[in-house]
Every structure is written in C-alpha cells, then in structure tokens.
Structure 1
Amino acid sequence: MTDTTRINDKISLERQDGIALVRIDNPPVNASGQAVRQGLLEAVDAANADTDVKVIAIYAAGRTFVAGADIREFGKPPKSPALPDVCNQIEASGKPVISVLHGTALGGGLELALATHARVGIKGLRVGLPEILLGLLPGAGGTQRGPRLIGMANTLDIALSGRQVKAEEALSWGLIDRIETGDVREVALAAARDVLAGRLATRRTGELEATRDEAALEAARAMVAKKMARIASAPLCIEAVARATGPLAEGMAFERQCFTEALKTPSGQGMIHAFFAERAVAKIPEAGATPRPVTKIGVIGGGTMGSGIATAALMGGLEVRLIEVADEALERGRATIAKNLDGAVKRGKMSAEKHDAALARLAPSTDMHTLADVDLVIEAVFENMEVKKEIFTKLDAICKPGAVLASNTSYLNIDEIARVTSRPQDVLGLHFFSPAHIMRLLEVVVAEKTAPEVVATGFALGKALRKVAVRAGVCDGFIGNRILAHYGKVIMYMLMDGADPAEIDAALEGFGLAMGPFKVGDLAGLDIGWAERKRRAPLRPAEERYIPIADRICEQGWFGRKTGRGWYLYDDAEIRPNPAAQAIIDAERARAGITPRKFTPEEIVDRFLTAMISESARVVADGIAQRPIDVDAVFLFGYGFPRFRGGPLHHADQIGVAELVARIEAYAKEDAQYWQVPPFLRKLAETGGSFAALNTGD
C-alpha cells in the first residue's frame, strides 16, 4: 500500500512496504533553497517517527538531483535551517538513509548525498564540488565527509578544480556505492529493498576515519601557490580538508568559519559577482518578445571569424550554409571548420558521432542564392563598410521574409548597414570574439529599428551556442572595442614614455589578466589594429597625442605570431622580446625628444585600469551598455579580465570612485586632452554612489 504526504510544495514523502521515499521537486535544478532544506528535515523526522518505516530513500524529480544552492539566497541573510544542520540531522537519522543521484549532484547536493548512509548513482551522473568557481569552498561538510569517504587527495582534486566527476570515476573512489539504470524512483525503491535485504551496506560517513595525506596536502599547497594565489578560498579549502582527521563537529565548525571568511574576501565577492553577471545580462527590455525559429543559418566568409562562427553553430546543432567568393577560399574555410571540430573531439567537447553529424550539416557554396531559405545570416567579412553594404543589399533581395540579417562587425555602424535594406527591423549586429567557437562572449548590437523579436532571436542564438550574450547599443566599437580603443592609447603612452612591452605585459598579467596587451596584439595580428587606426585617422582630434610606434612595427611586415615576429619573436618554442621592435621604440622616443622614465608595476596597472574604467563609465552613461554589470560581463567573457576581480566596474567600486576621480585629475596635468573625468563618474563620487547600486534588481 502506498501513502503519499506533501510536506511542502518542494518535498513529498511516500510510504510503501516499510520504505519512505523522499522526493525533492524544485525545478529547474532542485536547488537547495530554504523550502527544500526545511522540507527534508520534516520528511526525515516524519519517516523516523513512523514505526512501519525501516529505510529512507531520498531522490529528486526532473532532470537532476540537487545541483547546488539557490542563487536567489546569495548575499541575503541566511535562512534556517542551514544546509550543514540538515546534513548533520540526516546523517544522525535513527533509520538508514540512502540517496539516489541522477543528472548532477553538485556542491550542496553532493554534500547532502555524503550525509546519507549509502549513495546510488544513475548512469550518466556527474558529481562535484564547484564552490571554488565562486571564490568559496564547500560549506556543508564537503571538506570533512569527503576525506573520510574518498581520501584527501580525491577531495582536494574536486574541491580545488571544481570539475565534475563521472559516475564511473566516483564509483572507483567509493564516492557512490553502485551505478544503476532506469527510472530514478524505481531505482530508489529497489535500492531501499536491497538495504532491507542486506544487499546494500550502509554506514555513517562521519563515523569513518580520515587518513592524513601529507603528500596530497603539500601538492595542493604548491599548486595553489603557483596557479591560484589570488583566490583566497583555495588555501582555506586545503586547511579545512587537513582538519578532517579530528572530530567531525570540530571540522565542520572550522569549515564553516573558512566558508564565512572566503565569502567576505575580495576574490570571493568578485567571483560571485562574475557568476551573477553571466545571468544578469539576459535581463533585457526585449526579454518578453518571442524569438524567431532558427534551425538553418548562413555564414558569409570562411576566414578565421566566419569558420569559427560556423563551427560554433554546427556544435550547437544548426545547419550551416558557408558562403565564399571562390572555390579555393571555400575549401580553406571548410578545412578550418573540420579542424576545429576535430579539436572539439580531442578536448572532449563532442563525441565522434556528433562530430560526423555536425560536418554533415555543413553545406559550403560560392552561390549566395543558396541562402534563400535560411532563418538567419551572419556576415563575417573584413571590416569595410562598402563591402558590407554591398552584401546586405544582396541579402535583402535573396533572403526570405522574416530572415534575420546580422553583421559580425567589430566596430562599424549597424544603423548604416541596415539602411541599405528594405527591412531594417530584421538587421542587428552579432559580434563574436575570436576564436568564435571557443570564446564565450557575444555582443548583440541593437540598431535603431531592430525589432524586439529579432533582439530576442539574437539572445536565443547565443544561448543555443552556449555564449554569454550581452546587449549593446550602436557606437564605434560597441561596448568592448570602444573601451579597448580608449585604454589602448594609455598603453601606448606608457610605452612611449619609458615602459617596455614586456614590462607592461608582466605588470598586467601580475594583476591577473590572462595575457598582456602586447602578447594579445601579436596573437590577434597587429595588422588588424593597424587597419583600424587608419580607418579612424580622419576622426582623430588634432590635439590628441598620437603614438606611431605600432605603425612603424607594422610597416616592417611584422604582424605578430603569424609572421614570426611583432612585439616579440616567435622563432623558437619560447617567445622573447623582439630587439628590432625595441630599436624602433627607442628611435621614436628619441625623435619625440622623450627621456624614458621608469614605471612601477603598480603605476602601470593604475593607469591601465583608470583608463578602462573611465571609458566604461561613459559607455554606461551613453546607454551603450544597459548596466555596469553588462560591461563587467563583456570583459570577463571576452577580454580575459580576471574573474576573481569581478570585472572593471565591480573592481572600480573596490578602488573607490572618489579615488578614481583623483587619479584622473592628477594624470590630466600631463595630458588634459586624454585624461578627462567623465561627468557620470564625478557625479557618483560627489553623491557617494557606486556602480553596484546601478545593478539593483539584476
């Protein structure tokens, strides 16, 4: 006989033949919010109070077990009961409690499972402790029960990497006790019956002894010192794991102390902000509009960008028509796409079967008329307005009504492009970042007449391609490249005034950038920036200080990695400064009558950040970005800004807006044309405001 009780709207308790089935139902990912925690306590208490119940099994509805905390509770006062208390009470249950895990069991979800007396995984399960990716550490027993069950080395592995472990590996560690297939409720019933029959052993994890693994602890400390020195939670996590050899209650108290400390650190706050930034950018004015269906797209241009975009679309399950002007260029594009897909298989991003299916969805052609039935076209040719206008004029005549026409331009005016068509409402910018099949950022550039459903389509495409889509307005460079163009000038000013490329790169990499700006330039190709400077030259104010050093480098045919030299030399495995480039730098300094001066790493970082933040403030004030957090997302996911810093405008609040104004005013004594306090920034300083306050509600 089956009897089901609804504990609350998230938890139900079903009794059947001496078995209590506790079901978690909190879609979409069964997050461990307050109602789930409270309901679990009440359900386990009720099952313990029922004399007919002999064993308790916890499972979850939907596509996954508990996949983490409820993000809506982040940054708010904690609500009782706390997850550590729930875990402790489940482990202390007078009757055996097992958990049946499917989909993912992550963070608090895995910690909940560790507190049960046995764990059964459904095939396809992945488990992990991803708190480190938020600048935190496990806070509900992961650092204490983990070592008792799977040892310190394995616990440190998943807690410091944040990686997800497949069921088979988890079974080999002893993290789960068996792997089953089938319906999760039926597996839960069968596993509970096995407990009753003595075929599935149960034990309390907290009563197991953890063996101190000094070698694993020292290896973890060395790795953190080398690779994670700026993430404050990493060493705290190691020390919490080291405490697992003592009494569980003491270790849990220390773990919670470390968790609370990590939550307050700049790196913890920065990484939590980055986590929210990825989600906040989806809140756009057009969010209520219905996206147009997109299953088949066209990509015009088979170069680096076009082939990368096509690769991303194929990996996202779309059909792709690749268009080039000549057979030779088309074959190069097709070969690049095939190579990209091969790389995805090698990196474990797709299976061999999906690779073959993706290639089968690619249709290369030199005939633009084959785009007549596609749902969306992305033009990805070089940055020339007249060429783009010519292409969009043709697309306007070829493409079906309702097809979305998008340009991958990095800088050019989308309104001007849209005006050559009879359907400006269907035109928008989709600015991908190179390599487009790897980089996560996608700027969705909204023109004056872009229809809401077309904007929504751009965001839906971004989601399908697993991109972080950010809404941007029309201006030269949109959000990211407009800001880049501004702070790029201060980099060149420091170069001219005495800081060498390697010094600037080292200082900014020390701050946390993935790669210094001169290395980035060499990687991207210095000819790209050269062409852009030529385009902008007629617009340059006469009073602006212009540094020609990069132009002189390009005039030698040195475009970076692809030519073997640029700011650096690439003729062997280890890159090194290019002495000939330094000679050009020295000559230009002498020609300008400049006596080089030393810049400390702190001076380099301060000037770089102040310039970046200044233009970021203007971008927000001009409405090109909706909110400061959108600027942060652009730089986190497209420009290598350190995640633990949270983004340039989050970091601006850590510096203080008044301090930033004071810096600009001091720098203006050297160059009043470049260093100007944005009115928006000055107002924030005068009113005691912050960029964070402008993100309220997001």
Structure 2
Amino acid sequence: MDIINAVVDVSIERNVAIVTVDSPPVNALSADVRTGLVNAFRRASADPEAQAIVLICKGKTFLVGVDITEIGKPLVGPSVREVQETLERISKPVIAAIHGTALGTGLEIALVADFRVAVPSAKAGWPEVNIGLLPGAGGTQRLPRIVGVERALDLLTTGRHISAKTAVAMGLFDELVDEGSLRGGAIAFAKRMIDEGVKAARLTDLNDKLEEARQRPEIFLEYREENARRFRGFDAPEANIKAIEAAVNLSFEEGLDEERRLFRMLLNGTQSKAQRYAFFAERKVATVPDIPDRTERRKIEHVGVIGAETTGPGIAMNFLNVGIPVTMIDTDQMALRKGCAAIQRSYEIAAKKGQLTQQEINRRINLLNTSTKLDSVSGCELVIEAVSERLDLKVDVFRKLDNLATPGTILATSISSLDVDEIAAATSRAQDVIGLHFFSPANDRGLLEVIRGSETGATVVATVIELGKKIRKVPVVVKNCSGLVGDRMLAQQTLELQNLLFEGALPWDIDRVIYDFGMPMGPFARRDLAGLDDVDQGAAVASPVCEALCAMGRVGLKIGSGYYDYDHNGKRRPSAVAERVVRDLALDRQITRRSISNQEILERCLYPMINEGAKILEEGIAARASDIDTVWIKRYGWPLYRGGPMFWADLVGLEVILAKMREFERRYGERFKPAALLEYLVSEGRGFMDEVINEAVSDESSQ
C-alpha cells in the first residue's frame, strides 16, 4: 500500500488500484483530500500493474462535497476541477464505489468516473441550492447528460436526496452491490469491465438526453411556472435552471464557463451568505455557552404527557414517532378518547400521503398508553404538562407531580407566555423543572423553545436538548421571560400594525409589503386564516379593528369575511367593509390619515422587532443573535435568504436602523426608544453577528 498523505492511500488488488479516502468525520473534499486524490490518481494511472481504478471511502460515507467552511475563502491546494481533470486524463476504467451519502461536489467527482456502483443503502444528491448555490464543479453540465433535463431540474433545484435504487433506475449509478461488500463488489465490477473490454463514453460526449430537451425548449418555462410559488424570492433555483439551459444550448466547455459565472454570482451575493449563515446558526443552537459538552444526560425511556385536549396529543406523537413509549394522562376519559382519535387521524392522513405504512402506524400506536390517574407518571423519566395556558391549573398540577413523580424525573411545562419559575416554585425540585414551547401543531413544527428557569439544572437542559434533536426538533434554549423570543418580538410588530392602520395604511397595503419582503403571507391574511376569534392568538390579536370586525361576525376565512372578503374558493380580495371600519375608528380617535410609503411600512413593522431582539440579547434571554434568527426562520416564516432579522439588520446597517428608530421616537413616542445594545454596537462600529457582544455589554454595564 502506498500512503499518499494522511487521508488518502493507494493499494493494488487483483490488478485493480484502490484509491481510498479516510478523512473523518464525513470525507469532505478538504485541501488535504484534494491533494491526496490528485497524487493518488497519478500514481495509479502510471502503475503498469493496475488495469483499472476504484475510488472508495472509509468511514460512514462517500465524499460528501467541499468543506463548507472553505467556501468563499482563498483556494489552498489543488482545485476540485484539477482533481476532475486528473481523473479524466486516465485511460483506464475508473469506478466510484459509493456508500453512505454522495453529495454535492463528491457526487460531481463520481460523475467524472467511468462507472458508479453503490450499496443499496447509499443516497445521492446535490444540496447546494439549500445554501444558496449551485453545483460548481460541472454538476449542472454532466447531470442532464446522464439523467435528462427534467430529472436534473428536479434534483438540482430541490436539493433532495435519492436512494441508490432510484439512482440506478435513472442511470446515475450503474449497478448495486451487496451491502457490506462494497470493496469486493467494486473490484469484481472493475475486473468484469477489464475482461469484457468495456469502456464507458465520457459524459461530456453524451448528447442524446440534451437533444430531447432541444426538441422541447418550453420545458424550462413550464418548470419555472410550476414552481414559481416554491422558488419565490430565491436566487439559487433560477441560477440552477439557467445553468442547465446552458448545458442544452451551449458546448460543454461553454456550459462550464456559464456554470462558474453563475456560481460566483451566487457566492458573492447576500442570499448565499445568509443561507450559509443560517445553516451554521441552526447547528450552533444546541451549544449552550455555560453547559459543557461533557455534561451528563439523563436516560429518557418513557414519557408522560398530561392533558389530552390541547397540545398533548401532538406532543405525544413526537415521542411515538421515534420509538419512545408515552403515557397520556387526563382525568376526563372523553378527552382521552378524543386525544387518541386525533393521533390516529393524523397518522391516517400521513398514510394516505404515502408517508407511513399501516405497520408503522400500528407500531407507534402500540407505544401509547392512556390513564385517568396522575400517579401513572411514576414510571416516566420525563413528564410534560400540557394543560390549558392558565397559571393556577399548571401550578396545581406541578404541586401534585412533586409528590408523585420519581426523584430525578424531569418535569416540563408546555408554555408560551407563563412564568416557568412560578410553576417551579410549586415543587421542592426546581432544578428538575423546565419549560418546553411546542409550536402548533406540536407534532409538525420543527422548532422547540427550551425555557430555562432560574434554577433549572445543567443536566436537565443538556438532556432536553439531546432529546429535542432525537424527536427531530431544533431546540433553542432561552431564559425565562414573557413571550420568550419569537412572540415577544412579534408583539412589537403587532402594536405597530394598528398604528399604521389608523394613520393611513390599509390591511392589504401592509400585507403586500410584508409578503414582498419574503414572508409566507401578510399579518392580516394570516389572522384571517387562523380566525380573528381564535383565543389561542390571545392578546396579540386584540385591537380595536379586530374587535369591531368580530362584533360584526367577520371572523376570517372560515366564514368568508374578516379583514378581507373571500369567494367560495377561498380567494381573498380587499374589503370595503373592513376599510370603512378602519377609517371610522381613525375618525373617532381624531387621527388625520395620510399616505404611507411602502418603505415606512417595512421599517415600522420590522425595526421595532429588531430593537426588541437587541433587548433580548441585553437581558441574556437568548445567548446569541443567531439563536434569535433560528427561531424566526424555523417558526415564523422569516425568508431563509435574508438570514433572520438580526442578520438582516447587519446587512441594512445598524447605524441606519438606529437613526430611523430615533426619528420615529421623536415623531411617535417612547415605543421607538432604541435599545442600549443597539446604541452601543453602533458607537463601537460593530454588528449583531459579533459573537462577543453579550460579554461586551456585560463589561460596559458593570463599569
């Protein structure tokens, strides 16, 4: 065996050179790997004993692509293109042997090989679109030549993974080999190619699939129209489409040039920077600054959920879905039946969509037990209280749990606005009490706010974070405060919405501005959808306009009228009735209405939220600005390509936002008073993305 460097080696077996990459944890195409591959391919190509070459990886996966931390930095070592050109110059058959996941640039390397074999469990995909990029190593040019334009469009603009079986069916992979025998299977395949004298045509010479697309040029327009809603606001999907168009309409070399031009455009744009930032921010939230990685975790093998009428069934499903038994408790037998029926109904809907088999449904349902007795929590390591959002009810439950739950049991309260410390005070074990904010529907939403009380123990926090990831949530740790992070910031926008209405804007004016910014829908359309009489929306919805509309029976989409009027298909249109309500209430308050620009609407809706985010950081409610951004992206529909409100604020310029907040404070009063942190950062020429801002503010306030 020849050791090329620390991560790549070459060996010869049965006249086949085996180039092996071993670069934990995921065999990313780092500078060391690229250098090793170039030298290994040259060595194997020159070795007269080797009649074919197999590229294979150790560890859990095949090459997964470029190390994302290197993106946008100066190149070190050979480029990916140099690796590919070295591979293309080899006259011997080259076989890529794939296991785990072949992703992005790793898969682009595999496409340059003559053949690709894989174990059945392998997956493949190009996830670059998810970080605002396109495959920059020929993927947009080679893929349509082998699988066709329509499949290439789907794979590159969605970033989805496909199974090895699917990859073989579409021609991306050549053959499946036995699971656990990848090396031997790849060598056997290589020997067969040698013995049969098979030589694959280079993908650069294949044009049949492209010719099919040339005969139907409307394919691109149709694809854009079909996916316009999904791609709205994003630059990367359109750039991927244009690159595939170049594969069809230009030569291979010209297509590569266009791909590189589009890649550089995306790389240097703000959207990819925002999406890469969001990628890392989501992974950083599980790291709590004052809780070491080595902190002990408690074993959670059985979960108790108290309350079957509200969020309880959805919370229970999170654990059933990952194989953790649940006991759902409610003193009302009828409520238990309804809760179980809701779970069954949800699973049946998933089955109709092809997401679950009946066998999987049965397995999950069999993990669910019910009880009308609170002492059934005695065998649970985690108990989640999910009764109505009333402090007296929750305190009563926790007082009882203190006597019934086994010592060491984590007692969690599902809250969104109540004080976790008041609830913990009803027990003698405040160190074991924590808040969990599951967003509705609890079994579907990807965010979990983990509310750390003033006495919550580090082991409890660490355990819940780990469990949150296990149930496929993004757990964001926040300290105890009213409204937590997301709702507290949203309340600032809600307050300003009413002021804008009275001063001159109309609901559809505001909705258009917020929608054009990139949110899924405007605030008034969203309220109509939820129902103006929905008590779960609470005080955030309470406003003179909302109350007047409700008094008229205009409670939203479900009855065909609210802020908007709706036709029988649910299509909304501006309402003359709602406009009259707004104008009459403004007149009653002696407010002279005026024309309000789109820019002012945007600033007054978003800048107070950012200001509140600064206060949240000042108070230490959130550990990092990136945690706030993750909450807003994962739960509130903040456009991913804008990176979150705090990231976006840095792009706008904190000095711009501060100046506007001071102007609004002079015009409209105290509610626009800038946060101390906002003023401090501007004075220091810094931004929210500076990870030491909390330390700086602490030092400043202690002097």
TM norm. shorter chain > 0.5 = yes
AA of the residue aligned to 1:112: I
Q: 1:587 to 1:651 in 2, by over 3 A?
A: same
Match of 1:143 among 140, 145, 159: 140
SS at 1:595 equivalent: coil
In structure 1, the residue matched to 2:697 is none
Q: Which residue of 1 aligns with 2:185?
A: 187
Q: For residues 203 and 633 of structure 2, what CA distance do their matches in structure 1 show?
A: 39
Cα offsets for 1:261-293 (capped at 9, x unmatched)? 101112111111111111121221324212211
1:230-283 deviation per Cα after TM superposition (whole angstroms, max 9, x unaligned): 222333322322232544343323322221110111211111111111112122
Q: Map of 1:191-270 to 2, 5 A cutoff?
A: 191-198=189-196, 202-209=200-207, 210-211=210-211, 213=214, 214-223=217-226, 227-245=230-248, 246-270=250-274
Matches within 5 A, 1:302-341: 302-341=308-347
Alignment of 1:512-661 (within 5 A): 512-527=518-533, 532-533=538-539, 547-554=543-550, 559-560=555-556, 566-568=562-564, 572-576=568-572, 581-661=578-658
Structure 2 residue runs of 5 or longer lacking an equivalent are: 695-703
The 1-side partners of 2:530 and 2:402 are apart by 32
Map of 2:169 onto structure 1: 172
- The question of whether the paired residues in 2 share the 8 Å contact of 1:55 and 1:192 is answered with yes
The match for 1:130 among 114, 127, 131 is 127
Mapping of 1:250-649 within 5 angstroms?
250-284=254-288, 285-288=290-293, 289-527=295-533, 532-533=538-539, 547-554=543-550, 559-560=555-556, 566-568=562-564, 572-576=568-572, 581-649=578-646
Gap change, CA 1:38 and 1:491, over 3 Å in 2: same
- Shift in CA distance, 645/418, structure 1 to aligned 2, threshold 3 Å: same
Give per-residue Cα distances to partners, 1:118-142, cap 9 Å, x unaligned. Answer: 1113213322212111111110110
SS at match of 1:322: strand
TM-score by length of 2: 0.92
Contact 1:311–1:341 (CA<8 Å) still a contact in 2? no
Letter in 2 for 1:281: V
Q: 1:583 to 1:398 in 2, by over 3 A?
A: farther
**CA offsets, 1:606-637, max 9 Å, x none?**
21111111111111111111111111000000
SS at match of 1:299: strand
**Alpha carbons of structure 1 residues 333 and 553: separation in structure 2 relative to 1, 3 Å:** farther
Moved more, 600-609 or 634-643: 600-609
What is the match of residue 699 of structure 2? none
Q: Secondary structure at the match of 1:112?
A: helix
From the superposition, tell whether residues 62 and 206 of structure 1 become closer, same or farther in structure 2 (CA, over 3 Å).
Answer: same
CA distance in structure 1 between the aligned counterparts of 2:155 and 2:370, rounded to whole angstroms: 43
| Aligned mates of 2:277, 2:259 — CA distance in 1 | 23
* CA drift at 1:391: 1.0
1: distance between equivalents of 2:171 and 2:41?
A: 25
Alpha-carbon shift at residue 432 of structure 1 (Å)? 1.2
Distance 1:175 1:547, change over 3 A: same
Seen in structure 2, the aligned counterparts of structure 1 residues 89 and 127 have a Cα distance that, compared at 3 Å, is same
The Cα of 1:547 is off from its aligned counterpart by: 4.5
Distance 1:257 1:571, change over 3 A: closer
1:685 is aligned, of 667, 673, 682, to 682
**Distance in 1 between the 2:416 and 2:140 partners?**
46
Q: 3-state DSSP class of the match of 1:693?
A: coil
Residues of 2 paired with 1:376 and 1:564: CA distance? Answer: 43
* 2:698 aligned partner: none
Tell me if the contact between 1:293 and 1:375 (Cα under 8 Å) persists in the aligned partners: yes
C-alpha distance in 2, partners of 1:431/1:202? 56
Looking at structure 2, the residues matched to 647 and 469 of structure 1 have their Cα atoms a distance apart, in angstroms, of: 17
Would the alpha carbon gap of residues 390 and 565 (structure 1) be closer, same or farther in structure 2, given more than 3 Å must change?
Answer: farther
Given that 1:506 and 1:516 are in contact with CA atoms closer than 8 Å, whether structure 2 keeps it comes out as yes
Take 2:532 and 2:374, find their aligned partners in 1: how far apart are those partners? Answer: 31
CA contact (8 A) 2:412 2:433 kept: yes
Distance in 1 (alpha carbons) for counterparts of 2:525 and 2:414: 24
Alpha-carbon offset, residue 86 of structure 1: 1.4
In structure 2, the CA distance between the partners of 1:415 and 1:525, relative to structure 1 (3 Å rule), is farther
Note the alpha carbon deviations across 1:210-230, whole angstroms, 9 max, x for none. Answer: 435323333344456654252
Supply the AA of the counterpart residue of 2:191. Answer: R
Q: In 2 relative to 1, CA 334–279 (structure 1 residues): closer, same or farther, beyond 3 Å?
A: same
| Letter aligned with residue 317 of structure 1 | G
Measure the CA separation in 2 of the matches of 1:499 and 1:650: 28
Give the direction of change, closer, same or farther, for the CA distance of 1:313–1:561 in structure 2 (3 Å limit).
farther
Equivalent pair of 1:270/1:644 in contact (CA under 8 Å): yes
CA distance in 2, matches of 1:322, 1:653: 45
**TM-score for both structures, normalised by structure 1:** 0.92
Bigger CA drift: 582-591 or 620-629?
A: 582-591
Q: What are the within-5 Å matches in structure 2 for residues 6-45 of structure 1?
A: 6-45=3-42
Q: 1:99 aligns with which of 96, 101, 115?
A: 96
> What letter corresponds to residue 271 of structure 1 in structure 2?
Q
What is the CA distance between 1:601 and its match in structure 2? 3.0
Shift of 1:373: 0.8
User: Using a 3 Å threshold, how does the CA distance of structure 1 residues 124 and 287 change in structure 2: closer, same or farther?
Assistant: same
Tell me, yes or no, if the aligned pair for 2:121 and 2:179 is still in contact at 8 Å.
no
Residue pair 1:224, 1:235 contacting (<8 A) in 2 also = no
- 1:582 and 1:507 map into 2 onto residues whose CA distance is 18
CA distance in 2, matches of 1:478, 1:354: 36
**1:396 positional shift:** 1.3
Distance 2:80 2:89 in 1: 14
Aligned-pair CA distance for 1:159 = 0.9
Q: Identity over aligned residues, as a percent?
A: 36
2:407 aligned partner, one-letter code: P
CA RMSD of aligned residues (A): 2.5
Relative to structure 1, the CA distance from residue 48 to residue 199 in structure 2 (aligned partners, 3 Å threshold; closer, same or farther) is closer
Q: Which moved more, 1:524-533 or 1:587-596?
A: 524-533
Judge which range, 376-385 or 494-503, deviates more: 494-503
